[in-house]
Amino acid sequence: MRVLRRTSRWGPFKMEFTPMIDVVFLLLVFFLCTLKFKTLEGKLATYLPKDRGPQRHWELPVPREDIRLKLSARGGQCVCAVMGRPVGALPEDRGRIYEHIRRLRRAMPESPAIIDADPAVAHGHVVTLVDECIRARIDEITFAAALPALARKG
């Protein structure tokens, strides 16, 4: 068996590994410096209190009762009902409606007001009722949405 050796006119061919190792290390350092780690989404850095442990008894939250205000259009008038009971008509009985709302606010200070107005009620009456709720210092006022009429199949 015959082994071929390459020779050039300058002498035998010899491969230098030192520059190739330098280039490999430079590439390795480059890729390590440009590496970005994947960040976990939804993970929050929080600090929990260390002086309190798990509680031995649990208190159920006290359910809040809503202050329900209903505005209905009857016979050309806007009738206001507080907690299901008719109180008066707007704008004539505005003071009486305010007194009912104020009494309920004192009895249930954390309760929100829910205004349920018929679609036929003028917007000015709804704004008047909102003003009375603000005057009674109710912070949370929401509006009940009217349900759409369902089509009957005949």
Question: For residue 16, is it within any domain?
Answer: no
Check residue 23 and give its pLDDT.
93
List phi, psi (to 5°) of 11.
Answer: 140, -170
For the stretch 91-135, pLDDT in tens is 888 888 888 888 888 888 888 888 888 888 888 888 888 888 888
Question: For residue 74, is it within any domain?
Answer: yes
Q: Is pLDDT larger for residue 66 or for residue 64?
A: 66
- Structural domain count of the chain: 1
What whole-number percentage of the chain has pLDDT above 90? 8
For 65: left if phi > 0, alpha if psi spans -120 to 50, otherwise beta; the answer is beta
Question: For residue 80, is it within any domain?
Answer: yes
The CATH number linked to 82 is 3.30.420.270
Give the single-character DSSP code of 78. E
Question: For residue 76, is it within any domain?
Answer: yes
Contacts with 113 (C-beta within 8 Å, 6 or more apart), sequence order = 66, 67, 68, 69, 101, 133, 138, 140, 141, 142
Predicted TM-score (pTM) of this structure: 0.54
Contact 132, 98 (CB under 8 A): yes
Question: For residue 7, is it within any domain?
Answer: no
Range of the domain at 135: 67-143
Contact 82, 103 (CB under 8 A): no
Question: For residue 90, is it within any domain?
Answer: yes
Structure confidence at residue 47 as a pLDDT band (50, 70, 90): confident
Question: For residue 9, is it within any domain?
Answer: no
For the stretch 2-14, pLDDT in tens is 555 566 677 777 7
User: Which of 31-35, 36-40, 49-53, 67-71 is least confident?
Assistant: 49-53
Question: For residue 51, is it within any domain?
Answer: no
